[in-house]
């Protein structure tokens, strides 16, 4: 385990029943007009801070939280139960529905503090599944929803096809070990070269500071229980982000989901030069730009 120290933010804690959940806030800059509150939702193999508040020497704006905070957004991430600083003691595999329950508890805490009418929610990979399930269950808490590297049925996903070969192992235990080689595999499995080595190493340092194992629940769900979300019940304005080389998110699967979203304030963006871990790619600033544009979209006024 490493010794990364995060700074410049505010630690928060809330509870889901008797479970302690960790939240991390980077407040909006006071120099610009308020733009809303963003909740970033992490994926299967890393906690919140390594994903969204990463700092890499020589790589400006590596922290997406700081980039959005500088533009007037209150920015938050949280560690799902079983990850990072949140409680890990229960003898369960911390699956996607459990993660959606975490978001319900975390969002209630955030909204009570900020007084916002709704959150701008971004989720990546299994975090996109957690975010979309949360949006389905609590539509009143979502102002806008961004789903990155999402899967619906899992059709057309080479990464999930490979992962299914290990399903018996994932079913047999609640956690799986991770190490530096595993973090490298995230960037080598789809299209090597889309992330630079310094960023990959910094990402690995940050992840391994907090965890040396990860829950199996999201892997089990993505390999054997899809679909978990009904697009017809996602009422928020939604953008779907898909990296050009992403091995998780099958294009046809995503388009089929997108077509069934009922809110016509929706977008589908294919991100060129991107594989799976969007914010750790060489083209990360393109991802920020797309997301910022969606989160700052002017309100649409319909005719009577």
Question: How many CB atoms are closer than 10 A to CB 14?
Answer: 20
Ramachandran bin of 296, using left for φ above 0, alpha for ψ from -120 to 50, beta for the remaining angles: alpha
Asked, for residue 141, whether it belongs to a domain, the answer is yes
The backbone torsions φ and ψ at residue 10, rounded to the nearest 5 degrees and listed phi first, read: -125, 125
Distance of CA 52 to the CA centre of its chain: 9
Distance of CA 90 to the CA centre of its chain: 23
> Which residues 6+ apart lie within 8 Å of 168 measured at CB?
none
How do the pLDDT tens digits run along the chain, 304 residues long? 456 878 999 999 999 999 999 999 999 999 999 999 999 999 999 999 999 999 999 999 999 999 999 999 999 999 999 999 999 999 999 999 999 999 999 999 999 999 999 999 999 999 999 999 999 999 999 999 999 999 999 999 999 999 999 999 999 999 999 999 999 999 999 999 999 999 999 999 999 999 999 999 999 999 999 999 999 999 999 999 999 999 998 999 999 999 999 999 999 999 999 999 999 999 999 999 999 999 999 988 876 5
Helix residue ranges per DSSP H, the chain:
48-52, 64-69, 96-114, 126-137, 158-163, 167-172, 180-188, 197-210, 217-224, 251-260, 284-295
The rounded distance, in Å, linking the Cα atoms of 31 and 71 is 9
Asked, for residue 34, whether it belongs to a domain, the answer is yes
Question: How many CB atoms are closer than 10 A to CB 164?
Answer: 16
Taking each continuous run of H as one helix and of E as one strand, the counts in the chain are 11, 10
Asked, for residue 92, whether it belongs to a domain, the answer is yes
pLDDT of the residue at 304: 59
pLDDT of the residue at 81: 98
3-state DSSP call for residue 23? Answer: strand
CA neighbor of 193 nearest in space, from 62, 66, 283, 67: 283
Please count the structural domains in the chain.
Answer: 1
CA neighbor of 38 nearest in space, from 110, 124, 91: 110
Asked, for residue 114, whether it belongs to a domain, the answer is yes
Answer yes or no: are the C-beta atoms of 41 and 83 closer than 8 Å.
no
Asked, for residue 2, whether it belongs to a domain, the answer is no
Q: Which domain holds residue 262?
A: 10-295
pLDDT of the residue at 50: 98
Asked, for residue 3, whether it belongs to a domain, the answer is no
The rounded distance, in Å, linking the Cα atoms of 132 and 263 is 14
Question: How many CB atoms are closer than 10 A to CB 205?
Answer: 17
CA neighbor of 283 nearest in space, from 254, 237, 243: 243
3-state DSSP call for residue 287? Answer: helix
Query: pTM to 2 decimals?
Result: 0.97
3-state DSSP call for residue 81? Answer: coil
| Helix (H) or strand (E) run with residue 141 in it | none
CATH classification at residue 245: 3.40.50.1820
Asked, for residue 1, whether it belongs to a domain, the answer is no
Ramachandran bin of 34, using left for φ above 0, alpha for ψ from -120 to 50, beta for the remaining angles: beta
pLDDT of the residue at 3: 65
pLDDT of the residue at 75: 98
Asked, for residue 302, whether it belongs to a domain, the answer is no
């Amino acid at each position: 385990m490493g010794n990364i120290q995060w700074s410049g933010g505010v630690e928060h804690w809330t509870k889901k029943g008797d479970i302690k959940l960790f939240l991390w806030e980077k407040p909006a800059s006071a120099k610009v007009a308020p733009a809303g509150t963003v909740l970033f939702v992490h994926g299967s193999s890393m906690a919140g801070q390594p994903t969204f508040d990463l700092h890499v020497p020589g790589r400006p704006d590596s922290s997406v939280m700081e980039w959005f905070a500088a533009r007037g957004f209150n920015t938050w991430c949280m560690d799902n139960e079983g990850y990072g600083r949140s409680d890990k003691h229960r003898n369960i595999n911390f699956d996607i529905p459990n993660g959606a329950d975490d978001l319900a508890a975390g969002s209630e805490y955030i909204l009570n503090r900020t007084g916002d009418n709704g959150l701008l929610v971004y989720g990546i990979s299994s975090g996109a599944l957690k975010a979309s399930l949360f949006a389905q269950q609590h539509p009143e808490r979502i102002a806008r929803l961004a789903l990155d590297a999402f899967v619906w049925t899992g059709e057309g996903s080479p990464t999930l096809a490979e992962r299914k070969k290990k399903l018996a192992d994932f079913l047999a235990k609640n956690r799986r070990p991770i190490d530096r080689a595993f973090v490298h595999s995230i960037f080598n499995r789809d299209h090597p070269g889309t992330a630079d080595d310094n960023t990959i190493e910094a990402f690995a340092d940050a992840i391994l500071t907090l965890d040396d194992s990860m829950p199996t629940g999201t892997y089990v769900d993505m390999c054997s229980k899809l679909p978990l979300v009904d697009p017809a019940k996602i009422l928020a304005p939604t953008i779907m982000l898909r990296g050009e080389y992403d091995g998780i998110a099958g294009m046809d699967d995503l388009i089929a989901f997108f077509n069934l979203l009922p809110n016509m304030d929706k977008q589908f963006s294919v991100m060129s030069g991107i594989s799976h871990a969007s914010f750790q790619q060489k083209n990360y600033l393109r991802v920020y730009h797309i997301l910022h544009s969606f989160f700052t979209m002017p309100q649409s006024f319909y005719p009577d």
